[in-house]
Homo-oligomer: A and B are copies of this chain.
Amino acid sequence: MGIVVQKYGGSSLADADAIKRVARRIVDVKKSGHDVVVAVSAMGDTTDDLLDLATGVSPLPPAREMDMLLTAGERISMALVAMAISDLGFTARSFTGSQAGVITDSVHGKAKIIDVTPGRITQAIGEGHIVIVAGFQGVSADTKEITTLGRGGTDTTAVALAAALEADVCEIYTDVDGVFTADPRIVPSARKLGRVSYEEMLELAACGAKILHLRCVEYGRRYGIPIHVRSSFSQLEGTWVVNDPQLSGPSQGETMEQPIIAGVAHDRSEAKITVVGVPDKVGEAARIFEALADAQINLDMIVQNISAAATSLTDISFTLPRSDGQTAMTALARIQAEVGYDKLLYDDKIGKVSLIGAGMRSHPGITSKFFGALASAGVNIGMISTSEIRISVIVDENAVDDAVRATHTAFDLDADEVEAVVYGGTGR
């Protein structure tokens, strides 16, 4: 029997009872003959509490010390999970990210895993222990400093461990039953997906479905690790994220025919900035995006209006995380004289609705059906962007729910039976 890697998020580790329940689940897998390695997030609200403490002593804490502080959260939860396992008569060894060999670059607060050297883990497994690893954290290769991977990073820790240990599966336990065709809080008839491809899951994650960390899916795809997203509050089969939903993973009747559309995602965390009256000359747009890149801002959609010949001026609009809005506006204001644009417009009352499905590659007419559904629901489209397997539109923030519901129905995604679930983030 091989190695099973599991990840439990903060909501699955909210208190002592939750930790004991998680311990029983872990022990059950060990009893079934597998070796078990578990990545844990900080308990419940621990991270927010630690952030509050930091804010209390410094308005702008150094990133290095912030990482030192936040990593205490997983240290607490991993020790408690190990204790609860020991109380069930099994032995567990907890390891920090550094001890577990999670090697990262040195970007505090959003480090990337560059290697995993799990010597202590394999030794502990060899000695018969269950291994608990602090998620979300690592140690930088060059400076040996403690780093964190950013929100949702424990998902990535789990998949990276699964890859390094050549695990059979990486199970991501969360507080929902799996990946749904839409947020069930908006679309009560949303269906749980039995399987979804890495590609689709990447697009879903990038478009606002908070169920899996984006880098976790990228890691899973790169190393071909089957990811099983499921609830820690039930024994139900969840959603398998696999290479080709039709070929791999355990068989499930309903997935024999791959649906065209995997789901409808939405995102209310973005804002739109429009740079009005940019001189339509070579290099001006580049100067704008260079300033934003220097400010470490990741843009999402970008639209450049066609220049009005009479004026030789153009408008450039783009979307970005709302949390970066202030930084971006400041960076752009600083280059106004240099670039010579007219003014900046800022709009954070927007939402993004995305239709995602690998099947749209081979099925024409998806776009017109999507836009038709939005028009019937009276939803105005602002910006549009597409990938091979995704169409995203920016709409008014208040129109997001209507847009999601109309799209979900138009593509026949509604389930016959309503499942009672709560759809939410997975902590970190």
Contact = CB atoms under 8 A, between A and B. Distances in A.
A282 B143 CA distance: 62
A292 interface: no
A71 B75 CA distance: 8
A60 B89 CA distance: 11
A172 to B, nearest CB: 22
A52 to B, nearest CB: 9
Q: How many copies does the complex hold?
A: 2
DSSP class of A's interface residues: helix, strand, loop or mixed? Answer: helix
Interface in A51-77: 53-54, 56-62, 64-66, 68-69, 71-73, 75-76
The contact size tier of chain A is: 35 or more
Contacts of A50: 76
Interface stretch (A79-87, A313-321, A330-338): A79-87
A65 B87 contact: no
A147 to B, nearest CB: 13
A160 B57 CA distance: 28
Contacts of A75: 68-69, 71-72, 75
A20 interface: yes
A268 interface: no
A16 interface: yes
Contacts of A84: 57-58
A59 B23 CA distance: 15
Contacts of A19: 56-57
Nearest to A76: B72
A92 interface: yes
Given A59-B87, A72-B72, A86-B61, A80 B53 contact: yes
A78 interface: yes
Contacts of A68: 75, 78-79, 82, 94
Contacts of A69: 75-76, 79-80, 83
B71 A83 contact: no
A191 interface: no
A93 interface: yes
A349 to B, nearest CB: 35
> What are the 8 A-B residue pairs with the smallest beta carbon separation, nearest first?
A16-B56, A69-B79, A58-B87, A61-B83, A68-B79, A58-B83, A72-B72, A57-B84
